[in-house]
Structure 1
Amino acid sequence: MDNGLEVRKEGVVSLVENHDLGDIIKPLVKDIHLFDSYVAGTTHLSDKSVLEDIEVGDVLMLQREDNKFDSNAILILDGQKRKLGYVPEKDNIVFARLMDAGKLLKAKITKIEKKGSFTQISVGIYLVDF
């Protein structure tokens, strides 16, 4: 029998989200708005079709990434787990610390602006709490 301490990176909410217990806890879950930002790196996407499929109000997933250029890198993914870009480096340190501590964060699209071939996506970043 292993009595060792198991360290898990998922927050409590993410562990029960897709389980029966998640249906019980769901009414207790609240989103706390932390910050308004934008999606960085949309011009470097290998699959730009994701930009045609998103809409204002869509909920986006945030995921930490092991990145040699930015130790606090946070990926922004659509509902199908396709890469949209990143939380801007200038904004990500506190969010990375929260996520590393097991907190669940998400983003919601607040505005989409097409500027020629560039798409600017504004997002609100939320802490999922219960």
Structure 2
Amino acid sequence: MRFRQRISPLIWLVLCGSAGAAETIRVLVQSSPLAGSQYYAVAELWPQIKPGDHLILIREPDNRHDRKAIRVEWNGRPLGYVPRAENRAVAQAIDAGEKLEARVSRLRDDPNPWRRVEFEVFLVL
């Protein structure tokens, strides 16, 4: 089922009723830590990445470790993945052709790679 079909009619009226025709509506789908960042260029790119930066979500259906894998990129550079425990709905949305956007929501200078980068995924209506 598509994300749009899961939004209750009341919420849909609130979202669409108050928006002008040219206004873009973004609904927060999930907030997650970045998985696997220790295997990518996060340490090298750390000084350049800022909260609010746009991220690209790239579906990897042929990934041998996870058929629902979604790679997260910043300015064309792989940073890591949507965590396996949280990627099913996002993978289904991408596969269904939903328009999603992602952005860096929080950065922490933490020794635990799972706590360094948090990001948000939005459904664009």
Partner residue in 2 for 1:114 = 109
Q: Could you tell me how far 1:117 is from its partner in structure 2?
A: 7.7
SS at match of 2:47: helix
Q: Could you tell me how far 1:51 is from its partner in structure 2?
A: 2.7
Bigger strand share = 1
Deviations 1:24-63, CA, capped at 9 Å, x for gaps:
xx93432111111111111011574223321011111111
1:36 pairs with one of 31, 38, 61: 31
Q: CA RMSD in A?
A: 2.0
Residues 39 and 88 of structure 1 are in contact (CA less than 8 Å); yes or no, is this contact kept in structure 2? yes
1:87 pairs with one of 77, 82, 103: 82
Q: Could you tell me how far 1:122 is from its partner in structure 2?
A: 1.0
How many residue pairs align between the two structures?
Answer: 103
Partners of 1:33 and 1:47 lie apart in 2 by 24
TM normalised by structure 2 equals 0.73
- Listed as ranges, the gaps of 5+ residues in structure 2 are 1-20
SS at match of 2:66: coil
Partners of 1:37 and 1:84 lie apart in 2 by 13
SS at match of 2:109: strand
Partner residue in 1 for 2:16 = none
Does residue 98 in structure 1 map to residue 93 in structure 2? yes
Q: What percent identity do the matched residue pairs reach?
A: 29
Residues 50 and 82 of structure 1 are in contact (CA less than 8 Å); yes or no, is this contact kept in structure 2? no
Does residue 68 in structure 1 map to residue 73 in structure 2? no
Segment drifting more, 69-78 vs 102-111:
102-111
- Listed as ranges, the gaps of 5+ residues in structure 1 are 1-25
Residues 36 and 125 of structure 1 are in contact (CA less than 8 Å); yes or no, is this contact kept in structure 2? yes
Partners of 1:36 and 1:75 lie apart in 2 by 15
SS at match of 1:107: strand
Residues 74 and 92 of structure 1 are in contact (CA less than 8 Å); yes or no, is this contact kept in structure 2? yes
Amino acid at match of 1:96: A
Partners of 2:54 and 2:42 lie apart in 1 by 19
SS at match of 1:72: coil
Partner residue in 1 for 2:12 = none
Instruction: Write out the 4+ residue segments of structure 1 that deviate beyond 6 Å after TM superposition.
Output: none
